[in-house]
Amino acid sequence: MSQEYILEMTDIVKEFPGVRALKGVQLKVRPGRVHTLMGENGAGKSTLMKCLIGIHPPTSGRIVYDGREVCFKNTHEALNAGISMIHQELSPVPERSVAENLWLGRVPVKGIRVDHKKMREDSFKLFKSLGLDVNPDEKMGNLTVAKMQMVEIAKAVSYDSKIVIMDEPTSSLTETEVEHLFRIIEDLKKKNVAVIYISHKMDEIFRISDDITVFRDGEYVCTDAAKNLTVDKLITLMVGREVTEMFPKVECPIGETILKVENLSAGRAVKNVSFELHRGEILGMAGLVGAGRTETAETIFGLRTKTGGKIYKDGVELNIRSPEDAIKNGIALLTEDRRGKGIVGLLSITDNTTIASLKDYGFPLNHNKMRADTEDYVAKLNTKTPSIATQIQNLSGGNQQKVLVGRSLLTNPDILIVDEPTRGIDVGAKAEIHALISKLAGEGKGIIMISSEMPEVMGMSDRIVVMHEGVMTAILDRKDFSSELILEYATSDIPCDPDVPPTDPGR
């Protein structure tokens, strides 16, 4: 092997029971470059990386790393060899500190005791070197998803690896945090570290990529320099077809008020939020991480305790104390925390789809109807799975998301709250999810859509609620949308005044 490449994977095949996930793919990575893996969900990108680091040893094929042939038995061997990975789905130990999570499996010791002082000092030193504002003593479970992601990035960098794999690292980061990550990546390149980058965000890919490899349905399609590709060409290579309508906003008749939220509060996370949602409306919620958008949704859905305010549906006040109460009242939530609050990893596609609707299947459970309903939503959402008996943890992130969408729709809600509905989903699946949301609005349902992607929230919404640190700072009509105006309100400390037009910056 030429030392031009730090990694060369050739003819990699990976078979799982009932499915051939990788069909003889290849990947060649140069040191000091960002090599991006592209493909729809289920294309095999994450599976190939798991083959590399020993989570799923390949069924056949050859891996040459740093001039020698390897086949790592586990992630520990890969880390020791100089390959670290930031996974798409975070797996923190929530009850332990940030420092303990950071050095898990390699804590410094003094004699037979853990050297907590050195662990804290090493953590402060690492965060300072990366310019991160994180308290090593904070309990991991108290951090936002974005902060957890930054800790995982710091952890991967701390191994002084020759290859750092980043699987959807920006899926929950703000624009500022994304810029911070890109600076870290540039520093890694200067140290001749190779970065293997997996993302579905086209703007990111063309900003930081040196080389791009495309997979489709477990097969290798091509590798090219990023400068030789365009967005349209890349999408066509990924999906085998042109995706012409990313935001299929359909003008739906806006009906009467279906949901009214009045001075809603939940501790310090949500402060006197008020808005109305109408039938046929897609109401976007925008803001930076920590704005309180997710907390507002969770309070409406009963996942978070309401400390003040009122919630009305069709003019009737609701007393929602749990998600069960919300579902009974025709409200469904698609959570942003797919792994922590969404899927039940060891259960099947059928179980995960029907778990919120078990009361509809009688006692004893009508398993035939459960399977039929699951098959229906797998077909409607084009979910890629060997069978509905497959454990959901074996699906790609985007296909897990589709199962959760099916679960929400199966409860037949009048109001659907979708929190980051396309996080970690490829361009083809994004268009499908967007089309489905527009279709549901056309059927007269009320949709609340939380998104950190400005083109998505502006492209899909009829109105946008903007929040900052738990406070609603504006409600914008579609005709007034602009990324500059939304960002202005997203960084404003001034609560929304309903008597002042929201486009007046001096309100």
Residue identified by tokens 């495309």 is 214
Residue 487 has pLDDT above 60, yes or no: yes
> What is the predicted pLDDT for the residue at 202?
77
Please choose, from the candidates 222, 218, 216, the residue with its C-alpha nearest in 3D space to the C-alpha of residue 240.
216
Q: Which residue has the higher pLDDT, 241 or 312?
A: 312
Q: Which of 3.90.1310.10, 3.30.365.10, 3.40.50.300, 3.40.1180.10 is the CATH number of 7-82+161-239?
A: 3.40.50.300
pLDDT interval class at 241 (50, 70, 90): low
**Cα-Cα-Cα-Cα dihedral sign, residues 459, 462, 468, 470:** negative
| Cβ pair 307, 267 in contact under 8 A | yes
Give the strand pairing for 282-286 and 308-313.
unpaired
- Whole-number Å distance between alpha carbons of 85 and 47: 13
One-letter amino acid for residue 95 of the chain = E
Rounded distance between C-alpha atoms, residue 240 and residue 236, angstroms: 5
User: Which of 415-430 are b and which e, b meaning 16 or more Cβ less than 10 Å from the residue's Cβ?
Assistant: bbbbbbbbbbbbbbbb
Between residues 319 and 93, the one the model is more confident about: 319
Q: Using CA atoms, how far apart are residues 212 and 235, in angstroms rounded to an integer?
A: 12
pLDDT value of residue 421: 86
For residue 221, pLDDT over 60 is answered with: yes
What residues does 265 pair with on adjacent strands?
308
Decide: 158 and 82 in contact? Cβ < 8 Å.
no
Residues 289, 450: Cα–Cα separation, whole Å: 11
DSSP 495: P
Q: Indicate the pLDDT class of residue 226, thresholds 50, 70 and 90.
A: very high
State the Cα–Cα distance between residues 430 and 456, nearest whole angstrom. Answer: 10
Give the pLDDT score at 504: 40
Q: What is the pLDDT of residue 33?
A: 95
- Selection from 265, 266, 262, 293 nearest residue 461 by Cα: 293
| Rounded average pLDDT over 88-117 | 84
Which of 232-241, 282-291, 351-360 ranks highest by mean pLDDT? Answer: 351-360
Q: What is the pLDDT of residue 507?
A: 38
Length of the chain, please? Answer: 507
Q: Does residue 332 have a pLDDT over 70?
A: yes
pLDDT for the residue numbered 475: 95
- The DSSP code for 391 is B
Q: Look up residue 505 and give its amino acid.
A: P
Which tens digits make up the pLDDT trace of 377-406? 898 888 888 889 999 888 877 788 889 888
Structural contact between residues 351 and 344, judged by C-beta atoms closer than 8 angstroms: yes
Q: Tens of pLDDT along 365-384?
A: 999 999 999 999 898 888 88
Which part of the chain is CATH 3.40.50.300?
7-82+161-239, 255-330+413-507
pLDDT at 248: 62
Q: Quick one: tokens of 138?
A: 């904070």
- So what's the pLDDT on residue 217? 80
CATH code 3.40.50.300 for 255-330+413-507? yes
Q: What's the pLDDT tens digit per position in 159-194?
A: 888 999 998 888 777 777 888 889 889 988 998 999
Tell me what pLDDT residue 506 has.
37
Residue 291 has pLDDT above 70, yes or no: yes
DSSP string, 303-319: SS---EEEEEETTEEE-
Higher model confidence: residue 232 or residue 461? Answer: 461
Which tokens sit at 108? 């410094």
Q: What is the pLDDT of residue 3?
A: 63
**Residue 316 pLDDT > 60, yes or no?**
yes
Pick from 65-69, 138-142, 412-416: least confident? 138-142
Based on the number of CB atoms within 10 Å of its own CB, is 374 exposed (0-12), middle (13-18) or buried (19 or more)?
Answer: buried
Question: What is the tens place of the pLDDT at every residue in 9-51?
Answer: 999 999 887 678 899 999 999 999 999 998 866 788 888 999 9
Q: Are 401 and 426 in contact (CB under 8 A)?
A: no
Q: d(Cα 93, Cα 112) in Å, to the nearest integer?
A: 23
What pairs with residue 262 in β-bridges? 310
Residues 274-278 have a mean pLDDT of 96
What percent of the chain is modeled with pLDDT above 70? 92
Residue 2 pLDDT? 44
Mean pLDDT value of segment 108-116: 87
What is the Cα–Cα distance from 506 to 77, expressed in whole angstroms? 58
484 in helix, strand or coil? helix
Phi, psi of 332 (to 5 degrees): -125, 150
Q: Give long-range contacts, CB 8 A cutoff, 24+ apart: 75-82.
A: 76/105, 78/52, 78/53, 78/54, 79/159, 79/161, 82/159, 82/160, 82/161, 82/162, 82/163
Average of per-residue pLDDT across 244-262: 79
The answer, yes or no, to whether residue 67 has pLDDT greater than 70, is yes
Amino acid 245: pLDDT: 55
